[in-house]
Amino acid sequence: MELFWHDACLEHDTGAGLWELPGRWEWLDEPEPHPENAARLRTFRHALAHGPVAPHLTWSTGRFATDDELARVHSAAYLAHIYKACTAGERVALEANTVVGPGSWDAIRAAAGTALAAYEAVAAGRTRLAYALVRPPGHHAQRSLADGYCLVNNAALVAETARRAGRRVAVLDWDVHHGNGTQDVFRNAEDVLTVSVHMRHGAWGANHAQTGGPEENDRANLNVELSLGAGDTAYRRALDEVALPAIRAHGADFLVCASGFDGSAFDPNGRHNLTAAGYRDIGRRVAALDLPTVLTQEGGYLRGYSALCLHALVEGLVGTAELLDDPLAYLPDDAQLVDRDLARAVTGRAAPGPA
């Protein structure tokens, strides 16, 4: 498996404060760093480079995306707006929790270009699995709106590039939050299937008007909402009974995964009770699809446990035995809600199949 990295992704400085009240220093004697910060990505890299899965991985350096490449999934006016904010000389909030600063434009281009470098390695047959370990994350970024720490939709850019190369693409998103940006980008492209398995949270403002519910499902999109605290069993069943059959029925020959770890039992932004074992099983299921696959890094904000979950996911992807124990997991699944949640996802969607 090939990992892709670019140092410029660390230059995006999101600052500190109180998450939902940016800049309100008086609330805290020691301001909290923004949850989407450079330290989390450095920790992820260190875990994979030094953990026991390291011998199964190779590392490559990414690149910057061009303006034309970014325009594959975003409007020119939106990109100009982002660039202007990034070059204003100070930190600018594009919405309540999505900020940019002087180093952000290079980080944005590096994240997108590194995801494309991962795609290029897979498309060339150099590797079957490639992981773009990047930030800022992207799956909430819509064609013309920033949202949820996301500025350019890296997963959508890979999917659109593969689509233009004649691939029939599926995007599988297991970040704890609905992949509304990817849904928005491909809402009229029935040759790309977007599948999001996430916590039920609904719309959360002008920049996230999508609900993520089954009422938004159609032939090109499948939302699988799971009740808060769903746990490992719910995710296994959601994949086995709903998401993966839909991907197979779509006839996908290329897979893009929006890979978030904020569904973990200890994440401050999710707490969906997933453990490292749950993420390992997600990796195994993705590998079993046996498709050319690019993964892009999305959420995961308790960086130590998220790094353990990332390591476990990669174990599943490359097919090793369990290499690390999980010293923290203890929460049970909330199994009583699973049947209802999966039934809602299935009945809310039109019959799957090639467009």
* pLDDT for the residue 141: 98
Sheet of 221-226: strands edge to edge?
58-61, 2-5, 129-132, 293-297, 254-259, 169-173, 192-199, 221-226
What pTM did the predictor assign?
A: 0.93
Q: How far is Cα 310 from Cα 316, in angstroms, rounded to an integer?
A: 10
Mean pLDDT of the region 317-337: 82
Quick: pLDDT tens for 12-27. Answer: 999 987 666 655 666 6
Residue 352 lies in a domain: no
Mean pLDDT of the region 255-274: 94
Strands (E), the chain: 2-5, 16-18, 21-22, 32-33, 58-61, 92-95, 98-100, 129-132, 169-173, 192-199, 221-226, 254-259, 293-297
Mean pLDDT of the region 301-324: 97
Helices 104-123 and 154-164 cross at an angle (nearest 10°) of 40
Note if the bond before 22 is cis, omega within 30 degrees.
no
With a CB cutoff of 8 Å and minimum separation 6, the contacts of 57 are 1, 2, 3, 48, 49, 314, 318
Mean pLDDT of the region 125-151: 98
Mean pLDDT of the region 333-347: 76
| pLDDT > 70 fraction of the chain, expressed in percent and rounded | 93
Contact in structure between 299 and 309 (CB atoms under 8 Å): no
Residue 54 lies in a domain: yes
pLDDT at 165 over 80: yes
Residue for token digits 């996911």? 313
| pLDDT > 90 fraction of the chain, expressed in percent and rounded | 83
Mean pLDDT of the region 138-152: 98
When pLDDT is cut at 50, 70 and 90, the band that residue 203 belongs to is very high
Residue 29 lies in a domain: yes
Mean pLDDT of the region 310-317: 98
Provide the domain count of the chain. 1
Q: Which amino acid is at 154?
A: N
Q: How far is Cα 84 from Cα 106, in angstroms, rounded to an integer?
A: 13
pLDDT at 288 over 50: yes
- Which CATH number goes with the domain that contains 38? 3.40.800.20
Strand partners, 5: 61
Residue 23 lies in a domain: yes
Helices (H) and strands (E) in the chain, counts: 11, 13
Mean pLDDT of the region 165-188: 97
Q: How many residues does the chain have?
A: 355
Range of the domain at 6: 2-347
Strands (E), 31-164: 32-33, 58-61, 92-95, 98-100, 129-132
329 or 336: whose pLDDT is higher? 329
Residue 95 lies in a domain: yes
Token code pair at residue 143 = 């064609």
Token code pair at residue 46 = 């260190």
Q: b/e for 280-307, b at 16 or more Cβ within 10 A?
A: bbbbbbbbebebbbbbbbbbbbbbebbb
Residue 355 lies in a domain: no
* pLDDT for the residue 345: 87
DSSP 327: S
Quick: pLDDT tens for 35-55. Answer: 999 999 999 999 999 999 999
Q: How far is Cα 291 from Cα 353, in angstroms, rounded to an integer?
A: 18
Which are the catalytic amino acids?
A: 140
Give the 3-state secondary structure of residue 47. Answer: helix
Residue 93 lies in a domain: yes
pLDDT at 58 over 50: yes
Residue for token digits 């997600």? 282
Determine the distance from the C-alpha atom of residue 274 to the mean position of all C-alpha atoms in its chain, rounded to a whole number: 15
